[in-house]
Amino acid sequence: MNNVFKFIIISIFCCKQLFADVVVVNNDQIKELLKSSVSIIDIRTPGEWKDTGVIPKSNLLMFFDNSGNYNFNKWQKELKKIVSNNDPFVLICRSGRRSGIVANMISKETNAIIYDANGGINSWINANLKVIKP
């Protein structure tokens, strides 16, 4: 039984290394990441981008449509045009809920660190940080 326990522990450790880390970040951390050329992926809908504006240099890549539907494989192919499998990136949505869901989904498919914007664009706007029209 001792060998079985060791195998389980080693397997858990090794499997963890196969997936990306999801790190929740605040606005100050996002600003620092953007200074170091980390891409930001805004997964909201085009209507949301238009209503609130977007963070400068954001890549606009809608994940869920207005009905809550998504095509993960198609979205992932588009994401790979923006960031490589090993490049870290920030995911942002309106409130942080959708970006958290997507971050956890994509973490199983990439080795990159995924930064999840805590509070989403609402937090960014409430902090009076710059947004631009898409």
Under 8 Å between Cβ of 63 and 70: yes
Question: Looking at domain 20-126, which of 3.40.250.10, 3.40.50.970, 3.40.50.12160, 3.40.50.1000 is its CATH number?
Answer: 3.40.250.10
Domain spans of the chain, in order of start: 20-126
Instruction: Give the model's confidence band at 5: pLDDT under 50 very low, under 70 low, under 90 confident, else very high.
Output: very low
Phi, psi of 115 (to 5 degrees): -100, 125
pLDDT above 70 for 65: yes
What's the pTM? 0.85
